[in-house]
Amino acid sequence: MAAETIGFVGTGRMGGPMAGRLMDAGYSLCIYDPHSEATKALVARGARLAKSPAEVASSADIVLCSLPTPDIVKAVALGPDGIVAGNRATVLIDLSTTGPGAAKLIAKGFEARKLTLVDAPVSGGIKGAVNGTLAVMVSCPKATYERVEPILKHFGKLFYTGDKPGTAQTAKLANNLMAAAALVITSEAVAMGVKGGVNAKVLIDIINASSGRNSASEDKFPAPCFPARSISVSPPAFPTRTCGSASMKPKPWASPWSAAQRCGRCSRSPTPNMARHPTSRRSQRCWRNGPAWKCAASFGSDRGETRLP
């Protein structure tokens, strides 16, 4: 039975279940969330409610936070009523997805107070938070990792990515990029199938029994998309076979669907050196300079997002 008090800031949809798992493990919690509804269940179980993140950081040696945006994380960590204003905490475990830039900024801001940031974004959604099956990516000094590992293991499987702030965030964003791409391309594939006369649910069942299955087709589509409601789609254009041999000629449903078009362009231009020597430095350079990398680097740039380096 754990005895120490842990601080937790942000007890909403993800933070609430994770904080609950710590209480299940026997930890005492001091919590803060600006929304009272988010704290009621934990307070009812015995958690102490603080009035600010600073108060949380004055009540525990280790504080966790699970917050929705980088700006909120930065304010909670570095603001006048933030973690840096506390007088006890020495470690902040950030479970949010903030990006490597925010993690580095917070770590730098902690230096004067001799606080250590544990960059620990999670993946697996609310279900994973409830069941303790999240993927937890962690970057921090090794000695700190050994200190916080017994806490983080209650959330799921841990992946130590190194000792530099931001590397775990980079790993999380790589995962998010693939998850977002899966959602986009699955949406386009289902829309194409429906316009071509295939029942959407049947198509998803086919995909999930075939090589096209992915996180979107298995998790995101079945529950929200098919509960007793019809699907309205715009007409797509697209590939005749697989992405690897996709013809870019417009189909009868012609309408620009960018993800599928980019996928087709990439896959029709393979890099021979990469295929023959996938681990060589030369191959890595070929991949980085090749059409597939450029496609990935430009993904989202037309939406005002930052290009990959």
Q: Which candidate in 51, 172, 220, 294 is catalytic?
A: 172
With beta carbons less than 8 A apart as the criterion, state whether 152 and 137 touch.
Answer: no
172 is catalytic: yes
With beta carbons less than 8 A apart as the criterion, state whether 132 and 17 touch.
Answer: no
**What is the set of active-site residues?**
172
